[in-house]
Chains A and B, each alone.
Chain A
Amino acid sequence: MTMFSSRNWREYPHRYRLEASKFKKSGKTYFPKRMVDPETGDTEQETVNLPDTGKIVTYTVIRIAPGQWGDQSPYGLAIAELTDGTRLMAQVTDCDVEKIKIGMEVRIEFRRVQSEGHHGVLSYGYKFVPKWY
């Protein structure tokens, strides 16, 4: 198994603060950050923080899951389009899985995403929750 601690630490800007690359030429935003604009090949960019609300564009409910995910199943997993048009995948939490649907408005919340067993590091990041206020 890879060392989870360093791999996770490296992703903090994305997982904690939703940092993304906005490229100068195309004006397009990519999450997570990347060095080259896939469309233009441009490397000039600024770091932006993604908005924290959006809508589900597609989803599933995972009912059979391996390892630590088993304790959480059934859980929703969705791709949401945020208000700036960026898409990302995350769990849908605090939600009756039967009520998840395309077009559902979601908010991004900071949650514990994984635990490396009972003794290892905890990893935090973003999840979707139903936007109810």
Chain B
Amino acid sequence: MREVCIIGVGMSKWGEIWKQSLRDMHTDAALKAIKASGVDHLDSMYVGCMSCGLFVGQEHLASLLTDYMGMCGLPATRVESACASGGMAVRQAFIEVASGISDIVMASGVEKMTDCSGDEATYALATAADQEYEVFHGATFPGLYAIMACAHMAKYGTTRAMLSAVSSKNHTNGAMNPVAQYPFKVTPAQVEKSVMIADPLRILDCSPITDGAAAVVVTTVDIAKKLGKPYVKIIGSGIGTDTIALAQRDDITTIKAATIASKMALKMAGKKITDIQFSEVHDCFTIAEIVVAESIGLYEPGKAGPAFLAGESALDGKFPINSSGGLKSKGHPVGATGVAQMVEVYKQLTGQAENGRQIPNSPKIGMAQNMGGSGGSSVVHIMEVA
């Protein structure tokens, strides 16, 4: 297996981007990543996208996007695993480069979510849940995570204040991120006064509907050295799955797919979870950040919430989580999210995080955890400075 790295990253503007189409947003991010990497060509591309068919009525995405990048003919495939599509695209690129099949591969992600009504967007997102045994009964995504939150609160005494701390901390970080959709601070009191969506989750516990794209160029360490641009090594990649339907799980206070993915990535990297210094975590809802932190082994079950309340996950805390602002503040264009997490870890490890968002003391190892649906899939990458 060859040593693989990320060299060059790019992101489009995230938010309600009325002036850019799906193809334009992707081209914007992809060309930025190519320019930053210094490569003169790509060997192939994997694009993560959850549901372009439902959001904008466009399938056959990879061919369309390579055409608009001016690279018609490039081997390209779309990868789908709900909200983990982006991270899965990165993993495919990683495998292709590591195996020696290709030298320079783009991993990108894109989602255009505002070209349909709110109801249609909710429907499209809900296709990541079990259509016949959850969505049929009126389940929504906030509803599914709320059900997990209710169980977690009952089992471990997780509190409203702990959930609010996650939202508030992520908004504090996102306020410093130039691409964030909602770059402003939110106090725990504001979270607690915001409208209830699905008990106990309020609107400020939920990630938004976002348009956006992100791209990274994946290559070998040998090629990266010649290109002379900042790069970080991908030293571990892991993936896990679980039942889609929550009722089928033995324990819904943990996300097994994330546990499997993180163990696999750590094993490949030859690291322990305590070696990791910071992480991007899939905080589609505040409860997810707590459950995932426990599932990947950062905290014992029930211990993440109190630690977050004590500030351990803040930028200057013991283990910073979501320095980017997370899905909550930065936005959550579902297919792009997993790639954008890689962009943030890359920036942190190369000292390029903007506006005072840089994690202190130059961290050397970071993690990105991306998740599909209500935890039916998860992908984890571990990156290390070169």
Interface residues of A (CB under 8 A from B): 7, 11, 14, 30, 32, 57-67, 69, 72, 75, 77-79, 87-91, 102, 113-114, 123, 125, 127
Q: Which residues of A contact B137 (CB under 8 A)?
A: 77, 89-91, 113, 125, 127
Closest 7 CB pairs of A and B: A60-B146, A58-B151, A66-B122, A66-B119, A61-B199, A87-B247, A60-B198
B40 interfacial contact with A, CB 8 Å: no
Q: Which of B57-65, B98-106, B128-136, B333-341 contacts A (4 or more CB under 8 A)?
A: B128-136
Give B147 Cβ to nearest chain A Cβ, in Å: 5
Give A130 Cβ to nearest chain B Cβ, in Å: 17
28 CB contacts below 8 A, A to B, read A7-B132, A30-B248, A58-B147, A58-B151, A60-B199, A60-B200, A60-B201, A62-B138, A62-B197, A63-B195, A64-B195, A64-B197, A65-B138, A66-B118, A67-B119, A72-B138, A77-B137, A77-B139, A77-B143, A77-B147, A77-B198, A79-B147, A79-B246, A88-B247, A89-B133, A89-B245, A91-B138, A113-B138
In the complex with contacts A60-B146, A64-B195, A77-B151 CB distance below 8 A: no
| A62 CA to B148 CA, complexed, in Å | 13
Of chain A, the residue at the smallest CB distance from B123 is: A66
In the complex with contacts A58-B151, A63-B196, A125-B143 CB distance below 8 A: no
B254 interfacial contact with A, CB 8 Å: no
B252 interfacial contact with A, CB 8 Å: yes
With A32-B132, A60-B146 given, can you name 17 additional A-B contacts, CB distance below 8 Å?
A: A32-B133, A59-B147, A59-B150, A61-B196, A61-B199, A63-B197, A64-B198, A65-B140, A66-B140, A77-B147, A79-B252, A89-B247, A90-B137, A113-B136, A113-B137, A125-B136, A127-B137
Of chain A, the residue at the smallest CB distance from B250 is: A87
Give B113 Cβ to nearest chain A Cβ, in Å: 14
Q: Which residues of A contact B148 (CB under 8 A)?
A: 58
| A69 CA to B118 CA, complexed, in Å | 13
Q: Which of B199, B247, B248 contacts A63 (CB 8 A)?
A: B199
B268 interfacial contact with A, CB 8 Å: no
In the complex, the answer to whether A114 meets B147 with C-beta atoms within 8 Å is no
B154 interfacial contact with A, CB 8 Å: yes
Q: Which of A62, A78, A114 contacts B136 (CB 8 A)?
A: A114
| A87 CA to B249 CA, complexed, in Å | 9
In the complex with contacts A89-B134, A89-B245, A102-B154, A60-B143 CB distance below 8 A: yes
| A11 CA to B131 CA, complexed, in Å | 12
Of chain B, the residue at the smallest CB distance from A75 is: B138
Q: Which residues of A contact B247 (CB under 8 A)?
A: 79, 87-89
Interface residues of B (CB under 8 A from A): 118-119, 122-123, 132-134, 136-140, 142-143, 146-151, 154, 195-201, 245-248, 252
| A69 CA to B138 CA, complexed, in Å | 6
| A59 CA to B123 CA, complexed, in Å | 21
Q: Which residues of B contact A102 (CB under 8 A)?
A: 150, 154
Q: Which of A7, A63, A66 contacts B198 (CB 8 A)?
A: A63
In the complex, the answer to whether A87 meets B150 with C-beta atoms within 8 Å is no
| A45 CA to B317 CA, complexed, in Å | 53
Q: Which residues of B contact A69 (CB under 8 A)?
A: 138, 140
Q: Which residues of A contact B151 (CB under 8 A)?
A: 57-58
In the complex, the answer to whether A60 meets B132 with C-beta atoms within 8 Å is no
In the complex, the answer to whether B123 meets A67 with C-beta atoms within 8 Å is yes
Q: Which residues of B contact A62 (CB under 8 A)?
A: 138-140, 142-143, 146, 197-198
Of chain A, the residue at the smallest CB distance from B130 is: A89
Q: Which residues of B contact A79 (CB under 8 A)?
A: 147, 246-247, 252
| A98 CA to B149 CA, complexed, in Å | 17
Q: Which of A11, A59, A67 contacts B132 (CB 8 A)?
A: A11
| A94 CA to B214 CA, complexed, in Å | 46
| A91 CA to B118 CA, complexed, in Å | 22
Of chain B, the residue at the smallest CB distance from A10 is: B132
Of chain A, the residue at the smallest CB distance from B200 is: A60
| A87 CA to B247 CA, complexed, in Å | 6
Q: Which of B138, B197, B252 contacts A58 (CB 8 A)?
A: B252
Of chain A, the residue at the smallest CB distance from B197 is: A64
Q: Which residues of B contact A113 (CB under 8 A)?
A: 136-138
| A88 CA to B130 CA, complexed, in Å | 12
Of chain B, the residue at the smallest CB distance from A4 is: B136
Q: Which residues of A contact B150 (CB under 8 A)?
A: 58-60, 102
Q: Which residues of B contact A32 (CB under 8 A)?
A: 132-133
